[in-house]
Structure 1
Amino acid sequence: MQKTIFITGTSSGLGKAAARLFQSKGWKVIATMRNPEKETELNQLENVTLLALDVTNNQQVEQTVADTLRLHAVDVVLNNAGYGLIGPLEALTGEQIATQIQTNLSGVIQLSKAFIPYFREKRSGVFINVTSTFGLLSFPTCSIYSATKFGVDGFSEGLFYELAQFGVQVKVVAPGGMQTDFTGRSLQGGIHPAYQQLIDKVSEGYSPEQVANYTKPEEVAQIIFEAATDGKGQLRYVAGKDATALYNERLEAGPEAQAQKIKAQFML
């Protein structure tokens, strides 16, 4: 029987790569994005349905999920929509902070809440929530972004326990650096003269040379597909060599030792 996945944030990057991969594996894909009328690739693929969805609009989230479930039997929900907000806290506006939280964290919570009754009643289903290496540890200028991604990780773990009794799985995929527009269009933030040296040093990690070494979104999409189909009760999937190295260091050395190492790395 053909399976169906509902994906948020499919206009570019990892979301689009995941949509293409699942479609190529014979799945029906419900691909959501804020402006589907601008999409020129996914709308050409068989078994892909494009829907408008802004995950910060709770009313639209509820309506889109309800409309979807009237027409489709959904097996997997991939909470992928999000963007990067990088900069020292003093440089960020209240609006930037609120929008980051609404998109990266509240959007995941509200969409999951809308799907839970459906999965609970049929006693099956998989939630896959995309976090980040910075949802497992943090770096300077990533305080608010990490707050959202740590939040998604903690939310997912709590939900993992809550829904197990109903046969519903919750999984987290935590990528490291990816060759996507995260370092371009998705990367927002601010500058502050008191932190300029620190900003410059952190920015070295987003140089074209560094980005060329990042993991391709297609590789992370493969890990998402594995999480969706492996039948394991595994909670976290760390994706990418850099993410794996940093996470293993945290597990082996301990969070405090790693925090001290990162602080020393960025001391000016």
Structure 2
Amino acid sequence: MTSTQTRTWFITGASTGFGRLLAEELLKTGNKVVATARKIEQIADLEAQYPETAKALVLDVTNAAQVTSTVAAAIAHFGHIDVLVNNAGYGITGAVEEVTREEYEPVFETNLFGLTQVTQAVLPHLRERKSGHILNLSSIGGLVGLPGWGFYNATKFAVEGLSEALAVEMAPLGIHVTIVEPGPFRTDFLGRSGVVAKQRISDYDVTAGKTRDYRDENTGKQAGDPLRAVHAMMQVVDSPNPPVHLVLGAVALKRFRAKLEAFQAEMSAWESVTLGADFPEGE
């Protein structure tokens, strides 16, 4: 995989998964990378291997002051940021009734509010330069709600809405926004990175319970190739006409198409009720 031009990338959550692999592939192709993570020791080797083009910085995306200082440090080091990759995030498994507030609030803080803080910190810089690209890592879980993923779905559905609005706001300024929506890939999402609700209610065994079982049984067996996924992200940034939505993997595509078909059928079945909610024409 080669890039048509070199850029400076700012990546959150670069210690593992897509973030780590993307950083490695970019550095191999001569791009500059600001790799961030909560624990500097997990990304320090990138800077050691690529001292001229990699910068490792500590960043907890839920820490607003740290977000501001880290973005400033990145710009001071390389002079500018071309691409922001909001990758930091994790999942939580459990039925809506099973997950406690103490369990779901941190997921929102990272997946949604952390992403928002980092984006707002970088936007003034991109606006000043009138160029750039933002990749927001969502999920097929941001397009299709599934049992056992309700709170994760909620964070990613929110990222979808925020990103779609942001894409329209940025377009006149020459800045692209792409929402990346992977299906199941062989990262550590189902393993170390995820959280499972402590409470388990037997009434949900046939719905959310099956999701818990899937999570336990499918780590390392997912169909998606993470390397091909990060190459797709690089390809999108190279494109002169990048998509707002980038669905990745056959599983994700099948699930989203099934939702669209069901949505269309439901709207058609209830169209008279939908249209009947307006005032009669002329009133």
TM-score using structure 1 length? 0.90
Equivalent-residue separation in structure 2 for 1:121 and 1:11 (angstroms): 30
> Alpha-carbon deviation of 1:94?
1.3
Deviation at 1:252, TM superposition (A): 3.4
Q: Name the residue aligned to 2:132.
A: 125
Give the deviation of 1:215 after TM superposition: 0.6
Letter in 2 for 1:15: G
Kindly indicate whether the alpha-carbon contact (under 8 Å) linking 1:177 and 1:211 is maintained by their aligned counterparts in 2.
no
How far residue 197 of structure 1 moved from its aligned partner, in angstroms, is 4.0
Contact 1:19/1:31 (<8 A) preserved? yes
Structure 1 gaps of 5+ residues are 258-268
Q: Distance in 1 between matches of 2:128 and 2:43?
A: 34
Q: Is the aligned partner of 1:146 residue 2:150?
A: no
Q: Tell me the distance in 2 between the aligned counterparts of 1:112 and 1:256.
A: 37
**In the aligned structure 2, how far is the partner of 1:89 from the partner of 1:227?**
35
Q: Percent identity?
A: 34
Does residue 89 (structure 1) correspond to residue 96 (structure 2)? The answer is yes
Root-mean-square deviation (CA, aligned residues, Å) is: 2.0
- Give yes or no for contact 1:91–1:189 (8 Å, CA) kept in 2: no
User: Superposition pairs for residues 74-113 of structure 1, below 5 Å?
Assistant: 74-113=81-120
- Aligned to 1:100, the other structure's residue is in SS state helix
- Aligned residue pairs: how many? 258
Q: Which residue number in structure 2 is paired with residue 230 of structure 1?
A: 239
Aligned partners of 2:76 and 2:228: how far apart in 1? 33
User: Which structure dedicates a bigger proportion of its chain to helix?
Assistant: 1
CA shift digits 1:152-171 (9 cap, x unpaired): 11100000011111111111
> Higher Cα Rg: structure 1 or 2?
2
1:23 is aligned to 2:15? no
Name the counterpart of 1:260.
none
Aligned with 2:258 (options 249, 260, 263) = 249
Question: Is the 1:179–1:212 contact (alpha carbons within 8 Å) kept by the matching residues of 2?
Answer: yes
CA contact (8 A) 2:108 2:155 kept: yes
Equivalents in 2 of 1:36, 1:116: separation in Å? 25
- TM-score by structure 2 length? 0.85
Q: In 2, Cα distance between the equivalents of 1:202 and 1:95?
A: 21
How many angstroms apart in 1 are the aligned matches of 2:262 and 2:82? 38
Letter in 1 for 2:82: D
